[in-house]
Amino acid sequence: MLLFLQKKKESEIDTPSTRAAAIRDEALRLGFDAVGFAPARLGPEVRARLDAFLAAGMQGEMGWLADRAEQRAHPQALWPEAVSVIALGMNYGPDHDPRDLQAQREVGAISVYARHKDYHDIVKKRLKALARWMVERWRGSELKVFVDTAPVAEKPLAQQAGLGWQGKHTNLVSRSHGSWLFLGEVYTTLDLAPSTPGQDHCGGCTRCLSACPTAAFPAPYRLDARRCISYLTIEHKGPIPEEFRAAIGNRIYGCDDCLAACPWNKFAQAAREPGLIPREDLTAPRLAELAALDDAGFRALFSGSPIKRIGRDRFLRNVLIAIGNSAEPALRPVAERLCADPSEIVAEAARWALARLPAAAST
């Protein structure tokens, strides 16, 4: 009789709600800042938005968005056995407004997310630790972990799991962390009690839309990636269209303007994860020094950084556009030297920069 009661008690404890509570506690212990749960399903509106985005060609050169659209819009199309999704967020908030750097014309502005170690590695390491704990606790269950390198609709899932809502800039907004959350997901065969979905709190605010230097938002909640500085400086492989170059300013990798403009950032805190503390040498790097990098120097400087993946030539293309926007005569010799660079994408940007730089004042 005692054994029967003990088994019944254990069975009652292991419910979708108690599982979710235990996972939340462990995830927070591991260093995640936000945790939520959702069924492994998304409504048809997610696929409809994605189809409209692709039909308009707004993905630019990001062909992978179309290649696996079905799996991106439907979690069970990626993994049919998935029952629940655990959405997790890690805060990477800056301790200052990143837009302040744009006034310093002799330095480059790197997006906040890329000023430290590659967040993919940091988040995935924590996800794997959580996964090992889950598999040990619920033997026989299965799971998969993702950090934005798989066809996963991260932001809709995060909203469904209650981490926040997709703002008018299309990024996730959290009432606790503003616009500064890295996202990761665990797809699992466990049945977990869902969180209350996030509700849109943008109201009539359009600060993020107005902040975009290149008018990349044709309407609220719609992004034309082909006009986005993050896309142009990271994903775009060829010469950056001249119509956007002046607006890029000194942004040499990514752009934070729409994120930084969000008033919900007043509740955000600076990142506490050691691996997400900005490197001093990437906070305000001097353009002249970056322009001197050869391939080996580029790889050494950005070892372990997400910047490494775009390669030296694309990066120097961005640096030279910033040099061309600097109005600093002292940077003319830098641009002149790179006009003869073996890479045409670098040489073309150097010629453009040189044509815009004022001549040094005669003495």
Which active-site residues does the annotation give? 148
- Alpha-carbon span 54 to 62, nearest angstrom: 10
- Cβ neighbors of 309 (< 8 A, separation 6 or more) are none
33 by DSSP, 3-state: which? coil
- CA–CA separation, 125 and 131 (whole Å): 10
Q: Is 148 annotated as a binding residue?
A: yes
Tell me if 202 is assigned to a ligand binding site.
Answer: yes
Ligand-binding annotation for 237, yes or no, is yes
Q: In what order do the strands lie in the sheet with 34-39?
A: 34-39, 84-91, 181-188, 143-146
339 is in an annotated binding site: no
Q: One-letter amino acid identity for 63?
A: G
* Amino acid occupying residue 203: G
Exposed, middle or buried: residue 142 (CB in 10 Å: 0-12, 13-18, 19+)?
Answer: middle
CA distance 250 to 319: 8
CB 164, CB 174: distance < 8 Å: yes
| Residue ranges of E strands in the chain | 34-39, 84-91, 109-110, 143-146, 165-166, 172-173, 181-188, 251-253
Angle, CA of 292, 231 and 115, to the nearest 5°: 55
Q: Is 341 annotated as a binding residue?
A: no
How many CB atoms within 10 Å of residue 173? 28
14 among the known binding-site residues?
Answer: no
* Residue 272 marked in a binding site: no
Does 8 belong to an annotated binding site?
no
DSSP letter string, 138-196: STT--EEEESSSSS--HHHHHHHTTS-EE-TTSSEEBTTTBT-EEEEEEEESS--PPPP
Q: Is 208 annotated as a binding residue?
A: yes
Strands 84-91, 34-39: pairing is antiparallel
Identify any residues that bridge with 363 across adjacent strands, giving them in sequence order: none
Which residue ranges make up the annotated binding site for cob(II)alamin? 72, 148, 172, 183, 230, 255-256
Residue numbers in the known binding site for [4Fe-4S] cluster are 202, 205, 208, 212, 228, 255, 258, 262
Residues annotated in the binding site for tRNA, as ranges? 237
